[in-house]
Amino acid sequence: MENNFLAFDLGASSGRAILGILDNGKLELKEVHRFKNEMTCIHGSYYWNIFSLFNELKEGLRKCISDYNVQPSSIGVDTWGVDYSLLNSQGQLIGLPFAYRDHRTDRAMDDLFKIL
């Protein structure tokens, strides 16, 4: 039995979509889509372009289906793990997500240790 999985890896400078095909206990990986990912500096702070990233995720899914003729069984996204964006009560973004390399947290550990 064959299972197909699509994984998105969002790194600090690039992203990619990897198709994983599991067939009779053997895993085959294919790079479906690769794209540039850059932080954007706005008024001295660094943010992720969430709108561009969303378009790239859709493009990776489109390529998986159209170029490889594969409808994935599931989709996973691997990201930086520390960045976030806030949503309002309707589930809409209320701001761009800060990038983890933004300087707003440079002194965070020093400030924490002063409290502890």
- Residue 39 sits in a domain whose CATH number is 3.30.420.40
Sign of the CA dihedral 94, 7, 71, 31? positive
Q: Which tens digit of pLDDT belongs to each residue from 7-36?
A: 999 998 999 999 999 999 999 999 999 999
How many CA atoms lie less than 13 Å away from 41 in the CB half-sphere?
4
Measured on CA atoms in the order 62, 34, 73, 97, is the torsion positive or negative? Answer: negative
Q: By the 8 A CB rule, do 30 and 5 touch?
A: no
Give the number of other CB atoms < 10 A from CB of residue 94.
9
In the chain, the DSSP E strands lie at: 2-10, 14-23, 26-36, 39-42, 45-48, 74-78
Query: Which segments of the chain have a pLDDT < 50?
Result: none
Domain that holds residue 47: 2-115
Instruction: Give how many domains the chain has, as a whole number.
Output: 1
pTM over 0.85: no
pLDDT of the residue at 1: 58
